[in-house]
Each structure stands twice: as C-alpha cells, then as structure tokens.
A and B are shown apart, each in its own frame.
Chain A
Amino acid sequence: MRQISYAAAGMEAFIEEMERDPTTFHLSTDAPPPLVERFGTSRVRGTPIAEGALTGMAIGAAGSGFRPIIDWRMVTFSFVAMDQVVNQASKIHYMFGGQTKFPILYRCTVGGGLRMAAQHSQSPYSMFMNLAGLKMILPSTPYDTKGLLKTAIRDNNPVISFESTRLLTMMGEVPEEEYTIPFGVADIKREGKDVTIVALAWLVHEALAAAETLEAEGISVEVVDPRTLVPMDTETIRASVRKTGRLVVADEAGPTCGASAEIATLVTEDSATFKCLKASVRRVCALQVPIPYSPTLEDVVFPNREKIAAAVRVVMTEA
C-alpha cells in the first residue's frame, strides 16, 4: 500500500471532505496553500491573528448551516479563545435545548520534544475533556488521522482534533480508497497477554518499541490506542485489562487530572475489571512542570520507551 505522512493524511482528509461538502470552509492564520489552490480564497481564508473571534465565528456559521474547520495551528493558540470554547461551543447545543446543530472542527497540534519551551509544548487535552459537549480525537498514525478527521468533519458536534507535532512527518500506510474511522472505537495496535499499555498519540509508538524489548524478556504486551478521547472506548480498554490483569497508561501530558487519570479510573472503578487486576495501575506521564527549553531539562520531562518498559517491569513483579 502507498505510504504518506501523518500531516499529508490530514490534508487529504480536508481535501476529500471539502470536495464532498460545499458547506465546509477553512479558517486559519496561515492558509494552507494546497487548500487555497483547490477551493479558492472564499472557502479557505488566511485570517487576522484573532483566534477568539475565529472560534466564535465558527459557532455562528455552524448554527447557520455550515461546517467550519478552524485550524488553531498549535493548541497554544486555542487558549486565547477559551471563552468561545468553554462558555459557548461546548454548551450551546445543550443549553438551547438541542434546537440546532453546531458541526465544527477545531484542529491543533499538541506535544513537546522540539525544544520549543513552555508555551509551545503543551498537551492539554484533558482540560477540554473536562468539559461536556466536545468530542476529541488524538490520532497516532497517518491512517487514523485521515479516517478520524473525515469522521470529525461529518460529525454534528464541535470536535477538537489534537495532532501530535512529533508525528507530523511520520510515514504510514493509507489506502487510496475512501474510508472513515468511527469515534469511540479503540485500536489494539499490538496483541499481548501479560500487560495492557494504553498509550496516547506519540506514545503509542514508544509503547510498541517497549513491547518489542519486553518480548525479548518474555513479557507479552498488549498496546491499546483509544484514538478518540471523547467518546472513550471504555469497553475495549476494560476487556484488555480483564485479559492481562495489568495496566500501564502512557501519556505525553502531565498526570494531574490527565487523560491517564481518567483511563486508570475507568478501569479501577469497574468491579469486574478491578477483580482481574494483579498489580496496581501505573502511569507514565510527563513531569508536572511547564516544559523547559534546554535539552538536558526537556529530556527528563517526557515519558519514553525506557520509562514505559520500566513501569511494565514493576507491574510484572508486583505481588
């Protein structure tokens, strides 16, 4: 099958969906040339640096029959639009009694590791998960990126796509034929029987690398990628843990109130799954600090394959 990059897969999703649906349009502070060439400057607009206004305008346009795509670029820039996300987009459908739909895609990159310092290295998806009324995708491969983005554009709700900066150049198989990936369906990226690693985005690949190392040590690892954070495929995660009896959660974000905390709780609060646990649940997350610039500091902040493998060894040896 042909291989394309994670970034190119996203662009293909936009091109296909914008071809398919004339009510879609795209706003960002830097208009992507491939979209401008194809759809013109009416539907693909380079905007002033005014993310708050753009985020709000998407709501108004969506409520008027359109499917706006807002590219915040980095999640960093979404924070100047928090009123529109928190007070408006996430609540408007519910608050107005479901009178009309607000199909919006907000898109941004997340993650660190590029020596971009605190403001430009953030993975704050759990802040958004904490709101009711927003769906969220966090793809880890080019295939998933394209399929999930297509579903996101067709969804009748505000959806946020968190795309990993570290994965933008990653190559992967993407079929020529049209496909979509449903929300709320986790993907088992590797099957195993001794321990479940639920990993997010870039850490899916670190978990797979750790799994290789651990296999040589006689430990069989299952790697589960939730792919969408809201809705979360609770059942696949629980079923995996019931099978293996052990859980390690790997996330590039900090641990406090993180997606990792949510996943751990979904497992431990289910009595059928809890009873299958043979060891405590471990999280492998970033340190709870703003991300520092210098390599010697940044390198100790993030989880990686070694830290994941170490956590797996701990849960394997725990009584």
Chain B
Amino acid sequence: MLRLMQTIRRFEERASTDYVAGDIYGTVHCYIGEEAVAVGVCSALNRDDQIISTHRGHGHCIAKGADLNRMMAELYGRETGYCKGKGGSMHIADFDIGMLGANGIVAGGISIITGAGLAAQIEGKGRVAVSFFGDGASCAGPFHESLNIAAAWKLPMVYVCENNLWAVNTAASTTLAVQDVAARAAGYGIPGIVVDGNDIFAVHAATTEAVARARAGDGPTLIECKTYRHRRHTERPSQPDVRPQAEIDAWMKKDPIDRLVDHLQAQQGQLSVEEWQAMDAEILQQVEDSVSFAKASAFPSPDRVTDDVFAA
C-alpha cells in the first residue's frame, strides 16, 4: 500500500514538472495528499470490481493497477497512451482493470458507475462498483439521483466522497448545509460513514465492510473520507488558490504517506530507513522509465483523427 501511495505521489510530481515544462498539455489536477483514499479503497477490491474516477484521476488509476507507462504516454499525448492520445490527464481509463475512466464533468461519473453496479447486480457474480467523487460533486444532481436508485434497488455500490474541503476556490462550508457529506446517506436509508481519509487503515477497513455489505446484497454505503489536496486545484502556474495558509500547513502535517511511514517505522522490523529509501528510489526509476517510454513513443498520426468516432 505504501508503494502504491508513493507511486501516485512521484508520478504526479513528475507530471506536474513536465506539464509546467510544456511536455504535457492542457491541464493536470494532482491528487497529492489524498493518496490514502484511492489506495485504501482499491486495496479492498478485486480486479474485476469496477471503479470510476474524477478530473483528479491519476491516483485512482494507479491504485486500481494501471500501467504507468501507458498513463504517462497518455499525458504526453502519444499513440501508446491508454486512449491513443485522445484523452490526456482528465480522461484516462483502463477497462481491463475495471477503471471506467476519469471524467471532466463533476459528478458525471456517478451515474455511469451506478449503471455498472446495476450490471453487476443483474449478472449476479458478486462484483461491486465504486464511485469516487469530491465534496463539490456531492452537491450535484447525479449524486442524489444515483444514491436514491442504488439504495432503492440495493445495488452493490460503494460511494466514496473525497472531501478535501474545497471545490476549486469555493469552500465546502459555504455550499453544504451539513457538516458531513456522509449525513446525507440517512436521506436515502443507507449507512453513511465518516473516516479519516489520511489514515489508510481506516479507509481500508471502512471499505472492506462496505464491500462485504454490497456483495451480500445489502446495498450501497456512502463513505466520506476527510482529506486535503496539498496543491492548487490544477498545476497551471497562474491557478489562484484562496485557501488559508494555516489550513494548508495544518493538513501538510497530516500527510498520509508520512503517517504510514511513521507507523511502519515505529513497529520493529516493518520498514527500515534503508528499505524506505530503496523503495522510493525504485519508484522514482519506474516513473523515469514511464517518461522514457512516453518520449520514445510516437505522436498519433493526424490521419487517426477520425478513428473511434464510432465503434465498428
């Protein structure tokens, strides 16, 4: 789990650098600071369980097992990328591992993954579907409509709200009438659980229970993970950030990776300083390799531009 969390972080640090340098285009939203949510949730899932992501999707991809090379190649706009260069950072999907895609529309994925949950229910093989979304998305129609349907039909769903307190520069405290997004579960008659989203063990435990409930046919759970993004909304250098410095500082001290490392190092023999350094070096090498892979890959040929408008 530590390895995956650190992989997300190192991958995104590199993506940000290369974006600012102009090798990655468009926009990049970093998940840094929220890694315990994606990894804590996905580590409680099977490969054939499905997830859907948001505009801040790299962490969900990596946690579900996506290939760094193909991810970086997509960011670099190359033909070897997950979407052949058609999607970029905001639109990575890997259907083979049950990752139904990042999404540029806030709350746009919630009903899609609920449809995957319906498919899983009809299929009856015990698969579950998991929706990741932000506090901002929890104010949008698809969240409410989907939760109601999933609850009424007892769909095998887990709804994971990543409450990082802000939607761009709008504070959740100004847009939600309740303190906890999880409180809304009551309105749909399903369990609503608040967890410390920077505590990987807490996230994993809550998800394990929710997944068991879903697989047993007892319906959806809403899990709200309290967390924080360390960086601005996007990596664009001119992106404004109105969050109070004291708030940022306080959350930096609750870094989910530091916490896990401290926890492991406090336990005899779990993780030595050398082991941690070696792991980080390996991860950095993997990220470096993904950049080399991307750079060695060709840009898509312009005559591919009309491919895939329709399926064969």
B88 in contact (CB, < 8 A): yes
B306 in contact (CB, < 8 A): yes
Q: How large is the interface on B (under 10, 10 to 19, 20 to 34, 35 or more residues)?
A: 35 or more
- Bound CA–CA A46/B168 (angstroms): 11
The smallest C-beta distance from A118 to any residue of chain B, in angstroms, reads 7
B269 in contact (CB, < 8 A): no
Contact A80 B140 (CB under 8 A): yes
Q: How large is the interface on A (under 10, 10 to 19, 20 to 34, 35 or more residues)?
A: 20 to 34
A191 in contact (CB, < 8 A): no
Given contacts A80-B141, A296-B77, contact A118 B86 (CB under 8 A): yes
Residues of chain B lying within 8 A (CB to CB) of residue A296? 77, 85, 299-302
- Bound CA–CA A300/B302 (angstroms): 7
- Bound CA–CA A301/B107 (angstroms): 28
Residues of chain A lying within 8 A (CB to CB) of residue B88? 115-117, 293-294
Residues of chain B lying within 8 A (CB to CB) of residue A287? 305-306
- Bound CA–CA A297/B174 (angstroms): 41
Contact B167 A119 (CB under 8 A): no
Closest to B84 in A: A294
A48 in contact (CB, < 8 A): yes
Contact A29 B168 (CB under 8 A): yes
Contact B140 A50 (CB under 8 A): yes
B237 in contact (CB, < 8 A): no
Residues of chain B lying within 8 A (CB to CB) of residue A115? 25-26, 77, 88
- Bound CA–CA A40/B136 (angstroms): 23
Given contacts A49-B167, A293-B85, A296-B77, contact A76 B136 (CB under 8 A): no
A131 in contact (CB, < 8 A): no
The smallest C-beta distance from B231 to any residue of chain A, in angstroms, reads 17
Closest to A288 in B: B309
A39 in contact (CB, < 8 A): no
**24 pairs of residues in contact across A and B, judged by CB atoms under 8 Å:** A29-B167, A29-B168, A46-B169, A48-B170, A49-B175, A77-B105, A115-B26, A116-B90, A117-B86, A117-B104, A118-B86, A118-B87, A119-B90, A120-B90, A120-B104, A288-B309, A293-B77, A294-B85, A295-B77, A295-B299, A296-B85, A296-B299, A297-B300, A301-B305
**What are the 8 A-B residue pairs with the smallest beta carbon separation, nearest first?**
A294-B85, A115-B25, A294-B77, A48-B139, A293-B88, A115-B26, A119-B104, A48-B175
Binding site for B on A (CB under 8 A): 29-31, 46-50, 52-53, 76-77, 79-80, 114-120, 287-290, 292-297, 299-301
